[in-house]
Amino acid sequence: MIGALGYAVLTGEWHVFFLAAVGDRFEAAELWLVLAVLVTAGLRGWVLWALLVRPPLQGPPWIRVLRVLLYLNLIVFLLGPVVQPVAGYAAFLLTLPVVAMLPLAFGQAPLAVRVVVAVAGLAGCLVPFVVDLPGPAVVWPIGVVLLQVFCRSSPLTRWLGLVALVHAGAMSMLPSRFTTYQDLSALWLLLDALAVTQALWLAHTAADLGRDHTDAPAAPLPFRVGALALVSAVAGLVAVTALRPPMVVVDELVIATEPEAFVEDFPPQAAGCEPWTVLGGQYATTAAQDREKAYLCLVRRIDPRNVPDETLLAEGRARCAAADPLYRRDMERLIYLCPERATDTSSFSLLLGQGVEDALHEKCTDPWPRDRDRRQLTIPFYMDDPAAGYRLGADGPADAPPGYPGEIPVAVGAGVQAVCVTMKTLPTAPPVRAGGWRSVVEVPLRSADGGFWVRGTYPQLAHDTPAGRQRIRLYARDLATPGLKAEQHLIVVFPGRSAKRVVHK
């Protein structure tokens, strides 16, 4: 890793350093992120040391088996970047017996409490396969950390448990409903790297199981009170996140409150303009006989001329009749005179009204919140041409041979005006999970440089994927949205060399 750091400093190719340090590609070179990754790399070395220098296996047979499972978890964690396709499945299979057995090892706690923690932990592992709900996986770390605090585990293990709990809570509270165009990959990279705190906690937990803590001193009272406060805060925040997931709005699809126009030197507003100039009235809620009045009210907010209404109406109709393109800023006023010109997707939402747009955002959620990718996003698109659908693709190399699979057409249902799209890039092929979807189709994708795009929607989108041969699995179903015909699409990209098209449903 030191060699990779030196190479990155000399050449500027920082993705080499991040690949060597955390097994992930990242191009930026922020100093704070490099230092943080170096710290996590040191923590990985600590995990390796705890694995090599461990107390001898002793105690009841089931305790020895539990310690072996914990150490196997550490080996899978350390080898994860190398054997990525199978590491996730192996870790899950090793985790289930650990979740069931570890709480039972704290003999100083009542048996009922230990059983409840074990059952809750198993439920937290299995519930996400049935219900897409963030947060249940944090229940087990909370229970085990409290058992360690009150059952005389070593001080280092108790502190590491609290750090690992904060990390698990942070991972569960990240937004999954909407994303912005702001690049959050650095945050995801750091949180992925800090997963080493979980491994370090398990390493010292396994070592504690090989020691006798009967005569060990109890945790100081201030530490116990602080641990309870921290656990309560994490549990409360995760519960709020699970019941009411955070929403980060997309730049252009939610109309933010804008500063009011400067009108000091403008003519006074005519009586009755308040529904549009103050209360934010919209075309969809304006009666047909009031649309000319609405147009005049909005125009006089920006036009300082003191001219008759007939002049402003004539100028507006002339702009409607002209062949020049009308952009959204113009259509916010002209839609009251020529709604038929609101044909492009940037102006289409003006016809629907804010209520319909808000309903679309409310319905547009991540259908797989448990399968997270730091580059994922969930965003509602308006269709450029519903009959033509939209297109997915990746730019090929300049010398691409004929038939290079660079573009994939995606059809939508007749009359569909908007599509809620969730895009994820996963390290391995996920289970199909076709229940509740109208169709599930899998096709090949080959990307020369990792670029991936969506066209035929508003706004268009670029997305990062690994370079090389990939598979795209597209899920589609209707999305019930009041006042709008919409569909929900889930696009999952994962490694795969097959060139076959597979229809799962």
Residue 264: its pLDDT value, please? 42
Q: Under a CB-based contact definition with an 8 Å cutoff, are residues 491 and 408 in contact?
A: no
CA atoms within 13 A on the CB side of 422: 25
Find the DSSP H helices in 104-220. 111-126, 139-150, 155-173, 185-193, 196-209
Report the 10 Å Cβ neighbour count for 155: 12
SS3 assignment for 16-70: HHHHHHHCCCCCCCCHHHHHHHHHHHHHHHHHHHHHHCCCCCCCCHHHHHHHHHH
Average pLDDT over residues 476-497: 86
Helix (H) or strand (E) holding 443: strand 439-447
479 SS3 class: strand
> What is the Cα–Cα distance from 307 to 275, expressed in whole angstroms?
22
Residue 440: its pLDDT value, please? 92
pLDDT score of 176 more than 70? no
Could you say which DSSP state residue 254 is in? S
Name the residue ranges covered by the structural domains of the chain. Answer: 46-243, 274-352, 357-503
Could you say which DSSP state residue 280 is in? -
Mean pLDDT of the chain: 75
What's the pLDDT band for 475 if we cut at 50, 70, 90? very high
480 SS3 class: strand
Of the options 3.40.50.1000, 2.60.34.30, 1.10.150.120, 2.40.160.50, the CATH number for the domain spanning 357-503: 2.60.34.30
> What is the Cα–Cα distance from 246 to 174, expressed in whole angstroms?
8
Burial degree of 15 (CB within 10 A; 0-12, 13-18, 19+): middle
Tens digits of residue pLDDT in 111-166: 999 999 999 888 887 876 666 565 667 888 888 889 888 888 888 888 988 888 88
Tens digits of residue pLDDT in 25-57: 565 667 777 787 788 778 878 888 887 777 777
Tens digits of residue pLDDT in 53-92: 777 777 788 888 888 888 888 887 777 655 555 556 677 7
Q: Which residues contact 210 (CB under 8 A, 6 or more apart)?
A: 54, 55, 56, 57, 58, 59, 67
Strands, sheet with 461-464, edge to edge from the N-terminal-most edge strand: 407-410, 390-393, 451-455, 461-464
Output phi, psi for 154, to 5 deg.
Answer: -65, 150
> What is the Cα–Cα distance from 76 to 70, expressed in whole angstroms?
10
Q: Global pTM?
A: 0.49
What's the pLDDT band for 250 if we cut at 50, 70, 90? very low
